[in-house]
Structure formats: structure tokens, C-alpha cells
Chains A and B, each alone.
Chain A
């Protein structure tokens, strides 16, 4: 198995969510992708729900610099300090954990530790995690700044890419959603509309 890709470091953590800062500016894992953190004895799985790039100092807003430049890249070339003054960070909602060899699709007993590394999950890990759709319930019920249907559909689209037959995976997920959302047809329709291929 290739070394999992390290994408950042936890800077804020709670039982239900974590915030991580990326090591490189703009190298943010895509919305809805599955990330993991923690050591091999207790791993914690989370789905990226939000990302932001802001100034390092909260009071200091960036200013427009491109008036005399020809391209966007040229701005960063002429002011190399920018990559150090800005930072990218993302929020991920905790959807499960792994203890030893067992994967659980519910919240871990402890939140993530600050400064623990965050890795992007490999396709094989994604497939294994996607064997159960219990995480959908957590995503639908989490109160997040992004609409639940956007997050769920993004997560499913991301996960389907790791599968050999993405359509079969999405149909199975759709059926699970149809059961979960039997009382909320409009939300169901919105999600199905976003994941259909």
C-alpha cells in the first residue's frame, strides 16, 4: 500500500468535527472527500465539509496586488511572502473511527488531538468505509454551514470514484437515502438530482 497522502494538521478538534490547516496553500482536499487522522491504534475518519483560505493574522486582510501584473501567477512570483502570510484550512465532520482492525460508523470516544496529521484516505480505505451507509445519517443530521444535500451528494460522488462500478454504489446509496428521507421527499429529490450520472 502506498504511503497515504498527508494533507494537513489538526488545529481545532471537537467530538463531532475537526479543523485542519493545509501544509501548502490551496492544497485542500476536495469537498466531501474522506480524510483520516490519528495513529494506527485509533484512527478517526472525517468527511471534508468546508474549506477556507484566509490571512494568517485575523485582523489583517489581504489587499489587491495585481494592478500591474499580467497574470495571477505573476502576483505570487513577485510577492513570494504571500504563500507564507496566507493559509488554507478545512473543516471535516467526524463520521467514524477505527480501533485496531474494526471500523465503526459512529462517533469516536475521544476527539482528535491537536497537531495530529491528517491524511487523505486511499481508494481502498474509501471502499472499505463505503461498505456501510451509516455515515449518511450523521451527515444529514449534522448542523453545518453547508446544506446537507450538498455535502451528502459531494461525499457520495467522491466515494463513487473509488469504486469499480460507481453507478451501482450510487444506486445502493440512493436506496439508503430513500429510506432515511422517506419523510422528506424534496431533500431526497435534491440529493438524487445531484448524484445521478
Chain B
């Protein structure tokens, strides 16, 4: 049943509608962010309350207030001489015209007529807009103050690069876990997660200190945990599938220039790397590290036009990389090949960093692996297009601390900005997790399909997340009023309109059951496949 709130009295498409509250609706029950429907003569509109205010017919009432202590007078004046007004921004047309009936909610292009009735949106209306859980849609949480499920169309979601933002401790990790499970269950895409803090593959912990299950524990058959630090994984009793080792010859000059800041290299040193690569070929790193002080070296440097001090600076930096235990001159295994094999089988890969949580290791490994995987995808995709064969499984690469890869200075050098910009052409997209969105190149930000943001309070971060979104100012006030925990705002490609929501629970036994029950369909299929 819909609850009548009032009638539209004025407004415009750009600024939203003014709604006069009926005397039966208490203004104190209204809340910013609630959904309403406006019953126009020909169309039904769907919108959100963005402001609540008080009005009166005669300003003299404000000067000589009536005796409200008398309940009779108070009751008579409420809703007549004194009344509440709502500001509602209609965003969608959800019925009435043929287009919205056939193709679902459409963006508004007009406003409801004068005195159209405004109702609180019913569960059915909200479901009509955000869809119910089905093969493609995944339940990610409830709109604030509502019981209805908010469902995200994950097929659409993975078609573009997406971002999850929020201050530290606002629930980004939990939200990411939920989304990863969603993608695992409801989309065709596979995930490659660069798990800097060892939170996604196996057990993580919540802020209260309780343990939270990882993906591998919930879906053992569909998730593989790769590790850079076997010892650490053993200590934590993680069942790993593969220990990643990286050979010297896999490191490219572009990786070094990306690490310029963290390795404290000079501009000249990064340029020298390219010359060394040209000279020595694939083996440049071991050759450079092997050079000793000799006449020969000096001649070489002269030949390459590299200054002595530049070379020393470079060697110091490269030595830092060399000291990383997972970097070996000739590793016995090929990590990229192993990852691709898993991804091809539809297994999601979580790469744990173990103790190597410093940003050098993370940037180096994430960039290097992604670049080579992306190159493989590009090749396969082009081949598939040329030969008209099956295309590679869509891949989503999840990276944390994204502003380190995607800041304006280095964005042009990393593979991630290419992925973010070229998007779906090669079936590879990004899921970016970050706490400083203002640090990310604006070009990359503008290409993101769906953004989910928890509380942000830095003005620049808010501006960069909301850049280019219609109704920015209204969203800004919603974003600023989010609770510090377990509340988020989602907007963009995968949702028909921006909505503040409370992510579903993750961490209790019941919540795990909820996730795996919905996964049952998938497991059943897996079993059926075994019999084929």
C-alpha cells in the first residue's frame, strides 16, 4: 500500500519539485534520501526526497505564533496555515508511457503536472527500479530506511571499470568482498585480485577483531589463492594454490619508471633504464646488477651516455627490487601462465602479498602481471575477432591503493590507465579501491562506469568522485550525511539512479549461508558439468 504524502505545488525539471505535505503526514517522519512516487496525469515519476522544510501561508504567524499549547489549535493549523514542504528530485519515469512499460524505468524529460499526488514509494516501486534478485542481479544491500533489496546488475557492472571509494575504516573491504562474491556468482567475468593486505582470499578480520571468511573458504572450487610469500601463508594456514615467483627478465623499464618515486630514482636514472634495456635486451636487470667497477663499465656508460652518479642511483634502486624474496634470476614456474590457466577455467585468482605489503612490491607485481595478462587478452581478443571464435572470458582486475597507480604523474605509464580508458574492447576492466579519489587522474575517473562511495569528508575527494554526475549538489548532501560505517552511495552505469544504501551483512554464519545459498545454482551446474 502506498502512503500519501502530499501534492506537487511547484518546481522545475532542473531544480526538482516542491511538494506540500498533507496535514496527515508528519514532517518529522520524512527523511532525506527516501524514495517517493509522483502520480502525474499520464506518467508515474520516481524520485528521492532531497530537502525537508517548513512553510506558512502568512508570515504574520511567525511574528505572533498561535497558542500551540492548545491541541485543538495546533491540530487545525497543522497542514493548513503551517505546513511542511518536501523537495523532491524526480529522476525516473516508471510507468504510464509505452517506453517505460516496455523498457523499464526511463530518465525524466518532463515534470508532473500541478497538484499531482505524491506517495511514499512502495516496495514494489523500488523493486521495479532496482530490480529483484535474479540470474543477473545481485543483492548488495538495502536502500536506507527501507526493507527492499537493492540489486545491482552485475552483467552491466563488469562491462566497465568501476570504483569503490571511502575513508579508511568505512567498510570498503567488506563492500569489495560482497561485490567479488556477486561477480563470482552472477556474472560471466573472472576476477584477478591483487590483495595487498591478505583480506580477500582467506580469513580477514573485522574492526571488532572477529574473523571474517574469505572467498576461498566460501567458494573453494571457484577461487584460487596465489601467494608471493609462501611462508606467511603457511603461518596463517591458508591453502594456497600457487607460489608466485618473478624472474629478472620479466621486469620491464616501464615498471621501473612507475617506481621512480618509491625507489627514489632520478629522472635520468629512469631514462637510463631504457638505454640499458636496449643494450642488454631481456636480461638487462641481471646484467646491470652484475656490473662491477671497472674500465669496461666506464666505457659502457660513456657509450650509453649515462652519468656515473645516475648509474649508482639506479643500481641502488634496482638492488631494492633484487632484495624482494619473490624475485629470482630464473624462476622455475611461470606465474602469468598459471594465472591465465586458472582464469581460463573460470577460477578467480586472489594474489596475496603476505608480508610484502610495502608499496614497491605491490606496484611492481600488480603492474607487471596485469600488463602481461592484458597483452595476452588483447592478442586473444584480436584473434577471436578476426577468426570469429569465442572471445576470452571477461576479466576484472581488482587493485587497491589505486591512486598510487593512477595518479596523473604515472597514469600514462601504467597498464591500469590503459585498461580504464580502453575499457571493454579487450574484455578487461578494473575494480579500483581507493581512499583518496582526488589522487586519481581525472581522465581515468571520468571513464569509470559505476562508483560506490562510503563516507568521504575531504572536499576534494568528494568533488572528484561526484565530478560529472547530474544532481551533484543533492548527492553531495547525501554523501556528507552517510554514517561512518556500513553506509554507501552508489551511482553510475549499473544502477538506474543514485541511491544511498546499507550494504548487506557479511561476517555472520547466517550471512555466509545467504551467499552460498544463492550460489547453489552455480554449484549445481558445476556438478552437472562433471557428469558430461
Enumerate chain A interface residues (CB-CB to B < 8 A).
167, 170-171, 174-175, 177-179, 182-183, 185, 188-189, 192, 196-197
Please, which residue of chain A has its CB at the minimum distance from the CB of B82? A178
Interface: B79 (CB within 8 A): yes
The 26 sampled A-B contact pairs (Cβ below 8 Å) are A167-B72, A171-B72, A171-B75, A171-B76, A174-B73, A174-B75, A174-B76, A175-B23, A175-B80, A177-B76, A178-B57, A178-B76, A178-B81, A182-B57, A182-B58, A182-B81, A185-B64, A185-B81, A189-B66, A192-B66, A192-B72, A192-B73, A192-B76, A196-B72, A196-B73, A197-B72
A-side binding surface: helix, strand, loop or mixed?
helix
How would residues 403 to 443 of chain B score, 1 for a CB under 8 Å from any chain A CB and 0 otherwise? Answer: 00000000000000000000000000000000000000000
Given the contacts A175-B23, A178-B81, A196-B70, A185 and B61 also touching, CB distance less than 8 Å: yes
Residue among A170, A178, A189, A196 with the highest chain B CB neighbour number at 10 A: A178
Contact A185 B73 (CB under 8 A): no
Contact B73 A179 (CB under 8 A): no
Contact B60 A185 (CB under 8 A): yes
- Interface size on B (CB < 8 Å)? 16
Q: Which residues on the B side are within 8 Å of A174 (C-beta)?
A: 72-73, 75-76
Contact A170 B72 (CB under 8 A): yes
- Give bound CA distance, A9 to B158, whole Å: 87
Please, which residue of chain B has its CB at the minimum distance from the CB of A180? B80
B1-35: which residues lie under 8 A (CB-CB) from chain A?
23
Q: Which residues on the A side are within 8 Å of B60 (C-beta)?
A: 185
Q: Which residues on the A side are within 8 Å of B75 (C-beta)?
A: 171, 174
> A86 CB to closest chain B CB, in angstroms?
41
Contact B72 A179 (CB under 8 A): no
> B469 CB to closest chain A CB, in angstroms?
40
How would residues 46 to 59 of chain B score, 1 for a CB under 8 Å from any chain A CB and 0 otherwise? Answer: 00000000000110
Interface: B77 (CB within 8 A): yes
Q: Which residues on the A side are within 8 Å of B79 (C-beta)?
A: 175
Q: Which residues on the B side are within 8 Å of A183 (C-beta)?
A: 58
> A170 CB to closest chain B CB, in angstroms?
7
- Give bound CA distance, A116 to B526, whole Å: 94
B-side binding surface: helix, strand, loop or mixed?
loop
Q: Which residues on the A side are within 8 Å of B23 (C-beta)?
A: 175
Pick the residue among A167, A170, A178, A197 that contacts B80 (CB under 8 A).
A178
Please, which residue of chain A has its CB at the minimum distance from the CB of B56? A182
Residue among B57, B64, B75, B76 with the highest chain A CB neighbour number at 10 A: B76
- Give bound CA distance, A197 to B70, whole Å: 10
Please, which residue of chain B has its CB at the minimum distance from the CB of A179? B80
Q: Which residues on the A side are within 8 Å of B81 (C-beta)?
A: 178, 182, 185, 188
Q: Which residues on the B side are within 8 Å of A196 (C-beta)?
A: 70, 72-73
Please, which residue of chain A has its CB at the minimum distance from the CB of B79? A175
Pick the residue among A175, A182, A185 that contacts B76 (CB under 8 A).
A175
- Give bound CA distance, A18 to B58, whole Å: 37
> A156 CB to closest chain B CB, in angstroms?
12
> A168 CB to closest chain B CB, in angstroms?
10
Q: Which residues on the B side are within 8 Å of A175 (C-beta)?
A: 23, 76, 79-80
> A14 CB to closest chain B CB, in angstroms?
34
> A96 CB to closest chain B CB, in angstroms?
24
Q: Which residues on the B side are within 8 Å of A192 (C-beta)?
A: 66, 72-73, 76
- Give bound CA distance, A167 to B81, whole Å: 19
Q: Which residues on the B side are within 8 Å of A188 (C-beta)?
A: 81
> A136 CB to closest chain B CB, in angstroms?
13
- Give bound CA distance, A167 to B73, whole Å: 11
A175-B79, A183-B58 given; 9 more Cβ-contact pairs under 8 Å: A170-B72, A171-B72, A174-B75, A175-B80, A177-B76, A178-B77, A182-B81, A185-B81, A197-B72
> B81 CB to closest chain A CB, in angstroms?
5
Q: Which residues on the A side are within 8 Å of B80 (C-beta)?
A: 175, 178-179, 182
- Give bound CA distance, A124 to B70, whole Å: 30
> B321 CB to closest chain A CB, in angstroms?
78
Please, which residue of chain A has its CB at the minimum distance from the CB of B23? A175
- Give bound CA distance, A192 to B72, whole Å: 8
- Give bound CA distance, A171 to B57, whole Å: 18
- Give bound CA distance, A192 to B66, whole Å: 10
Q: Which residues on the B side are within 8 Å of A197 (C-beta)?
A: 72
Residue among B57, B61, B80 with the highest chain A CB neighbour number at 10 A: B80
- Give bound CA distance, A175 to B79, whole Å: 8
- Give bound CA distance, A159 to B23, whole Å: 23
Q: Which residues on the B side are within 8 Å of A171 (C-beta)?
A: 72, 75-76
Please, which residue of chain A has its CB at the minimum distance from the CB of B63? A185
Q: Which residues on the B side are within 8 Å of A170 (C-beta)?
A: 72
Q: Which residues on the A side are within 8 Å of B64 (C-beta)?
A: 185
